[in-house]
Structure 1
Amino acid sequence: MYIGIDIGTSEVKALLLGPDQCVVGSAGVALTVSRPHPGHSEQDPADWWGATQAALASLQAAHPGEYAATQAIGLSGQMHGAVLLDAQDRVLRPAILWNDTRSAAECSEMMHELAALSDLGGSLAMPGFTAPKLRWVARHEPEVFRRVAKVLLPKDYVRLMLTGEHASDMSDASGTLWLDVRRRDWSDPLLALTGLSRRHMPRLVEGSEVSGRLRAEVAQSLGLRPGTVVAGGAGDNAASAVGMGAVQPGQGFLSLGTSGVLFVVTPTYQPNAASATHAFCHAVPGRWHQMSVMLAAASALQWVAKLLGTPHVADVAARAAALDAAGREAAPLFLPYLSGERTPHNDAGVRGSFHGLDFDTDAARLGYAVMEGVSFGLRDGLAALNAAGSEVTRLSLVGGGARSAFWAQMLASALDVEIVTHGGSAVGGALGAARLGALSAGAPMASTCLPPPVDTVYQPDPGESVLLAPRYALFRSLYRRP
């Protein structure tokens, strides 16, 4: 048996995985986010540990026999968060999270001071990353910065509680902007930008390697065996990829949730920072991945449903799906930049807009325009990945948007790739973390990192592709960089 623990932003989830790769059970405990000032987003690391203990207790209560037979634990978590510890491993301040935007000025300074930053780190400097946060702390909270002995990521703080080890994996470390992603090692020039050195960093391991073992006193309190293996684990997106069996070059997934993420496995380091993509290490050795991110995806459809006074998003999608070809061609175009955009524009100030509204525009056409605009934004992201050398012919579709067959078909035609959905199969960071735990305990990758069963396959439709092509060209022409 294997346990996967996912330290999310809104929830800590624990999952129990059997040796046959079947999920035995799962449990979740909610978290809250503190926003003490505009643009700030923080959590208390003690809350992650408390929620982890509670989630594991729920698993134990529901499945006592299987739980007690756990051989290994894997960790997944929200990326980029900054946990600052003193020399006695005491938390110095609340953790600054991935969605905190206070360090925009520091990002600009870092890009100016080190021209090689994006080549080393695989991405432009963005406020979400860990390194700019520490530069902000050094400037605004110098008394805290002087006491920093170690900087850990969220899941790695939980590892510290479990094992007493300061360690991180390659995929999560890629999101700090301190890692030389090509070499899979800390970068002295990147660390120097924030006044830190290797002594402030945790030890690096691969996600499928052993990072430590469960401390005796912790094992007793959790009802697990002392010395239980704890794997390196992964950042949330890389862990989700492992959970979906995306570990070989060309495999990937499209997450159509609040945001839109395209994740593609690559055999080498293939950055394209100029188009605001991320090139990170994967959670398994000898693999990297490319990732494009758009900030509003399924959330844009939720927004327009609310705007139209429609209680259910599915109703808007159904109206859009009922349009004939003429109705779709007459629909307005939608730029989905409701909260700015990352890939490919890296423009925090741009905002969404409808183009081509007329008296015939109705709820169906507005809904269609939003779904199409998000699809075009994802096509932009795929083009940025392709420009860096990525090749993909099939993507697993996950997230809330995957429930719409109409949208899945549109994505297949817009992106010109095969789209597959997986029904109610368990996917996500906790499953990937459990699989990485299994790998660290000696399970073979070929039989562990299998894709979930395919529910439906969507092939590009030539007729729809012909309809979309001129609309995509016009969509591309509407964005104007300030």
Structure 2
Amino acid sequence: MTDTVGILTVDIGSSSLRVSLFDGELNLIDTLSEKCATEIHPDVEAYWASIEAMARHLVGTHGSLEVRAIGVSALVGWVFVDERGLLVAPVFSWMDQREVQQHALLKAMDGAEFSDRTGRRLSAEQGGLKLRYLKDDLPGTYGCTARMLSIKDYINFRFCGIFGMDHTTACYTALFNVHDLSWDEAIIRALDVDAAKLPRLFAGGAVLGTVLPEVAGSLGLSTETVVVTCGPDGSVAVLGAGGVKPGDAVSVMGTSDVFFAVSSERVLDADRHLVTNPHVLSGLWLIGGPLGMAGGALEWYASTLLDGRYTLDQLNALGVAVPPGADDLLFLPSLTGERTPFWNPAVRGTVAGLTRDHGPGHLFRALMEANSFAIRRILDVLDGLGVPVEHISAIGGGADSELWLRIKADVCGVRVDVPQSLEATTRGCALLAWRALNGKKPLPETPPLRRSLEAEPVGHARYARSYARYLRLMALAEAFYASD
């Protein structure tokens, strides 16, 4: 690799879109970003227009670099296109939780069998259920659908004109078999959808194709520039944060939290609390899953419930003054339903133990503690499965909060490391693109750390009671919302 080689990355998250340029030594040269609202039905055409504009600017500004590879990652969501790649239906993000098709599949296939085949519990957000929804409710649209893609697969198609999906993203369709890494014919039959509407599968980091001539001309790229398969934003972030060997775990503290531990073995959770995905690096596995709202709940609390009267920094300062356990206040941030490890879309935001002595700082701290309690529950399940976690790398916007990091370390009883760069999804895309250009050359070293927080035994012990109460409250919330 020479110093004239460039790598372009795209990261579409729940709250921002980022396009970045790296050189051949994986140094970040420049990046552009814009805010984008978290929506149930995101506008992928607007995503593409922004990506084009940002990429054109970066390539034009840094003309000494020849972009040789492109890597794209995005939040989990589903796009339906015709043979020409034109949209035929609304785009569904993971926040769309319609459950009718989920119940229909469970009538046709036992939930335990489904979990054994797919490495996860059936969830209303999964892509195959959206495909069946089109068949049930919009048959004309279903008939026009040539392929179901993820959001990042659609962006890849706009770059190179090829329909493809990586193994890790395919896990979120409900139609992928984690044993043989292929589309599962039995589930496809049970759901009664057309397998021809599914894209070709690729391993993470594979070359999908080369940039279309018209795109190359518009953006100032070579038609020999390769488009590399990456994966969902949380899974790619695990790689970017240094999650590359057993014992590593990563908490992506964004709008939602994504938590995965790395394993050298495919380990399935028979109780279906956790999901098992192939790592975006072939030969490794990720065990954990996407949680519900985390940073998004804090933003909502500050902007909506408190009407913007406090900044997040002010609330953080108030939370620091509150003792661990938030004076017996519990706040479940289930604004969009519960995902890992409870998988209950019916559960909604719940506050317990509120008194006249509690203030804004208590509620703010209780939201952070609830997120950490959910991760501790994941760690308990991982321990029962024999999957070790030696440390947690914390990335994303939430990793800027010293309070949240301290809570996470003490609740979980595990050291929390913070990499120098918190934009791990961008770096993960760059690593996969770099590897596609460099063959089997070893990956660069784990990124340097900004800081580490050891778990304090006294703090961990103080959280034991709050954690037990959290688990009881979650069980009560599940029973309460089930009555609807």
Determine which of 106, 113, 119 is the counterpart of 1:111.
106
Aligned to 1:143: 140
Name the structure 1 match of 2:347: 350
Alignment match, 1:459: 454
Residue pair 1:123, 1:273 contacting (<8 A) in 2 also: no
Amino acid at match of 1:5: V
2:389 maps to 1:392: yes
| Residue 395 of structure 1: how far off its partner (Å) | 0.9
Output the CA distance in 2 between the equivalents of 1:365 and 1:9: 26
Q: How does 1:211-360 map to 2 (within 5 A)?
A: 211-272=208-269, 274-305=271-302, 307=305, 310-323=309-322, 330-360=327-357
Q: Does 1:63 align with 2:62?
A: yes
8 Å CA contact 1:331–1:361 kept in 2: the answer is no
The match for 2:97 is 101
CA contact (8 A) 1:376 1:472 kept: yes
C-alpha distance in structure 2 between counterparts of 1:143 and 1:253, whole Å: 42
Equivalent residue, structure 1, for 2:3: none
Counterparts of 1:200 and 1:63, CA distance in 2: 40
Pick aligned residue for 1:439 from 435, 438, 457: 435
Structure 2 contact 56–218 (Cα < 8 Å) conserved: no
User: In the alignment, what sits opposite 2:178?
Assistant: 181
TM-score normalised by L of structure 2: 0.88
Structure-2 change in CA distance of 1:301 and 1:7 (3 Å): closer
18-27 or 89-98: bigger deviation = 89-98
Alpha-carbon distance change, 144 to 249 in structure 1, aligned in 2, over 3 angstroms: same
The answer to whether the Cα contact below 8 Å between 2:395 and 2:424 also exists between their aligned partners in 1 is: no
Name which of 1, 9, 22 aligns with 1:4: 9
Change (3 A) 1:263 1:462: same
Inter-CA distance 215–297: structure 2 relative to 1 (3 Å threshold): closer
Contact preservation (8 Å) 1:292, 1:382: no
Q: Classify 1:288/1:320 alpha carbon distance in 2 versus 1 (closer, same or farther; 3 Å).
A: same
Are the aligned partners of 1:151 and 1:202 in contact in 2 as well (CA < 8 Å)? yes
Q: Is the 8 A contact 1:267 1:288 kept in 2?
A: yes
Q: Which amino acid in structure 1 is aligned with residue 411 of structure 2?
A: A
Contact 2:9–2:72 at 8 Å: present in 1 too?
yes
Residues 412, 460 of structure 2: 8 Å contact kept? no
Alpha carbons of 1:162 and 1:260: their partners in 2 closer, same or farther (altered >3 Å)?
closer
Equivalent position SS for 1:65? coil
Residues 375, 221 of structure 1: alpha-carbon distance in 2 compared, 3 angstrom cutoff: same
Contact 1:12–1:55 under 8 Å retained in 2: no
Report the secondary structure of 1:158's partner residue.
helix
- The alignment status of 1:25 with 2:30, answered yes or no, reads yes
Once the two structures are TM-superposed, the CA of residue 133 in structure 1 deviates from its matched residue by: 0.2
Same amino acid, percent of matched pairs: 26
Report the AA paired with residue 447 of structure 1.
L
Shift of 1:163: 2.0
2:466 to 434, 456, 471: 471
Aligned to 1:371, the other structure's residue is in SS state helix
| Cα displacement (A) at 1:152 | 1.9
Give the corresponding residue for 1:14.
19
Cα distance change of structure 1 residues 89 and 457 upon mapping to structure 2, 3 Å threshold: closer
The CA RMSD over aligned residues, in Å, is 2.5
Tell me if structure 2 keeps the 8 A contact 1:331–1:369. Answer: no
SS at match of 2:247: coil
* Cα offset, 1:193, TM superposition: 3.3
- Offset at residue 26 of structure 1 (A): 1.3
Q: Does 1:430 align with 2:426?
A: yes
For the residues of structure 2 that align with 1:331 and 1:312, how far apart are their CA atoms?
Answer: 24
Residue 267 of structure 1, CA deviation: 1.7
Deviations 1:53-73 (A, max 9, x none): 11211212332222xx12211
1:221 partner letter: S
What is the DSSP-based 3-state SS (H/G/I as helix, E as strand, rest coil) of the residue aligned with 2:442?
helix
More deviation, 407-416/436-445: 436-445
1 CA distance for matches of 2:10 and 2:64?
Answer: 19
The alpha-carbon deviation at position 363 of structure 1 amounts to 4.0
Question: How far is the alpha carbon of 1:91 from its aligned partner?
Answer: 2.9
Provide TM-score, normalisation by structure 1: 0.89
Letter in 1 for 2:161: G
Q: Which runs of 5+ in 2 are unaligned?
A: 1-5, 480-484
In structure 2, give the amino acid aligned to 1:56: A
In the TM superposition, what is the alpha-carbon distance from 1:454 to its structure 2 partner?
A: 0.6
How many residue pairs get aligned? The number is 468
Match of 1:78 among 75, 78, 84: 75
Distance in 1 (alpha carbons) for counterparts of 2:374 and 2:144: 43
Q: For residue 86 of structure 2, what is the aligned residue in structure 1?
A: 90
Q: Which amino acid aligns with 2:10?
A: I
Aligned-partner Cα distance in 2 for 1:329–1:13: 36
